[in-house]
Structure 1
């Protein structure tokens, strides 16, 4: 969302054009100035998220990658901010950087329900809450509660259910606030080691905690967990830390050791380098999900719960948000 100051600043190039006309300066000079200034504000907006934040505050360089377990057909509009039945959002405010993922519960397909619609609407509602003046980024769980409340109060809320994982980095104190409900999750990596990560919340094997909007009159037939049940943590970040947020399609197929090997191969932390790393992580997870002989984390968990599983990966939608903590250069 563009702030008022940015709008005012973008009017200056037009004044340059008018002055150039009055002074009979070649119009090309004024147009050149306009494009230079417009490019400057565009780059500034992309780098900082919002121009109103302090130029000294830390920020996140963020990239997104994912794969649907089923290829979508050309022109499928539902794929916007969705990878299959997963969904995600990013938000930058003057006070915080926020990221979220949600995994729509696939069992709704058997009832003819778009299993990804609930996840997408939940993430949209959470994203909308970050734009309110009252949002300061210091409680990801409160954000999840507010976003879910906004969803269920709609006149015709999406029927379905999903897991949810939100993280918010408060700029001033460079602290990560998290909320995780279900088996999506987050991870903080520093100097090649995992220092902080989420824990799964499940009712039973492969049955995660989930937020839901059931069909009218059928609420007793579904898991109906509350956003207040989300596990909430806080963790102090440092420049150079990597923050990873993903659905279970990643964690069920890619062992932590393989994930760290790819991330540790990143020589730089620019957006292009992060995107390359995210692409490699998602592609490796997808490859292993289709490998019938690989002892995936999902197969190992199944064996621990005495669940018959032939082994191999678990075909699933995969969504990954990868971010690096940065501080503005002098």
Structure 2
């Protein structure tokens, strides 16, 4: 996906408040295409995504997915159809979203990792992460990446017709979590989440991250920023949770964290920056230096921006899968376990999802 933009005048705060009161998000499934091109603003964002579910263990409970003819099921299948290759289309308990924001003001994307511990309770962990990402997409598509933009030559009555509102990643995550809590099909579950928005007018990146999913920014072939993981203790990340009705004592020790605990961050992006969002299936198995090297070599090989970001995403996922199956190679997870006084050898098998964004300045 490619998004671009040209600077515009800010809408006055009183009109913003009116626009927020008047406009409501659409809830229909998106017909998102793999790549879209708009050339109106000074920043372009090229987005690629890749994923791979881990092999299911023998005796795994049968999953009950969202119906394909429902809103979430249809949207899920469209997202999985963005990548046309021979790899598995199953994202496992992970999921993601990529969404152009209102009037092409920017792009929002994120990843979520459903916590697998619910399987023993007969709950499909994928439902929570898919529903969370669906609702992130639903709110982001109707919102602006910054303050709503307006033509200053319009009269007051015309200005009042501006629809939409500015939505931060934290606000989006909070609203999406509320949407999951209202989903009857999601009886219980939990998930980590990383939500990012990129403003095509200002080049501003904003993020909200809860748990051990996360993202990194590569600038000039080195790590400019890496989101720190949030956890209660080793291998127990902070997570958004929906408890079953009449949970009782059985779930008294469940982690129930709030979107307000998400770590937020913002920075001004530059030409050539690479943003990589990932679930812990990636960060537990691939070191940051390896991630930088892979992206650097692909960028050096050239090709269109769309080809580069998709190749980066695919290669990162493929490398993570190789690493997680090795017991002879030291992994980031093994090192962290050793710091906690625990023994773990080699890679950690898991679902892995990666979304890659490349920044281009056009003016």
Shorter chain as denominator, the TM-score bin is: 0.7 to 0.9
**Alpha-carbon distance in structure 2 between the residues aligned to 1:155 and 1:67:** 27
Shift of 1:71: 6.8
The Cα shift of 1:155 comes to 4.4
Q: Which residue of 2 aligns with 1:300?
A: 335
Quote the residue 1:228 is aligned against. 260
Q: How many Å separate the matches in 1 of 2:56 and 2:165? A: 37
Q: For 2:187 and 2:218, how far apart are their aligned partners in 1? A: 35
Bigger RCO (CA 8 Å, 6+ sep): 2
Residue 101, structure 1, aligned to residue 111, structure 2? yes
Q: Which residue of 2 aligns with 1:208?
A: 237
Q: Which residue of 1 aligns with 2:188?
A: 159
Indicate the residue corresponding to 1:9 in structure 2.
none
Match of 1:39 in 2: none
* 2:283 counterpart of 1:251: yes
Helix, strand or coil for the counterpart of 2:252?
helix
Q: Which residue of structure 2 aligns with residue 134 of structure 1? A: 164
Specify the alignment match of 1:110 in structure 2. 120
Please report how far the alpha carbon of residue 221 of structure 1 lies from its aligned counterpart in structure 2 after TM superposition. 3.5
More helix by share: 1
Aligned partners of 2:165 and 2:135: how far apart in 1? 13
| Change over 3 Å in CA distance of 1:65–1:156 after alignment to 2 | closer
Do 2:187 and 2:244's aligned partners in 1 also have CA atoms closer than 8 Å?
A: no
Per the TM alignment, residue 209 of structure 1 is displaced from its structure 2 partner at its CA by 0.3
- For residues 240 and 158 of structure 1, the distance between their equivalents in structure 2, rounded to whole angstroms, comes to 43
Q: In the alignment, what sits opposite 2:208?
A: 179
TM-score of the superposition, structure 2-length normalised? 0.72
Alpha-carbon distance between aligned partners in 1 of 2:361 and 2:220, rounded to the nearest angstrom: 17
User: How many aligned positions are there?
Assistant: 279
Structure-1 separation of matches of 2:55 and 2:328: 21
- Flag structure 1 segments of 5+ consecutive residues without an equivalent: 1-41, 49-53
Counterpart in 2 of 1:320? Answer: 354
Q: Which runs of 5+ in 2 are unaligned?
A: 1-31, 81-89, 143-162
Alpha carbons 1:129, 1:135 under 8 Å: kept: no
Say if 1:96 and 1:136, in contact at 8 Å, map to a contact too.
no
Correspondence 1:58 to 2:43: yes
Is residue 118–residue 160 contact of structure 1 (8 Å, CA) maintained in 2?
Answer: yes
Aligned position for 1:47: 37
Alpha-carbon displacement from aligned partner over 1:94-146 (angstroms, at most 9, x marks no partner): 22210110000011111111111100000001110112353434x21111011
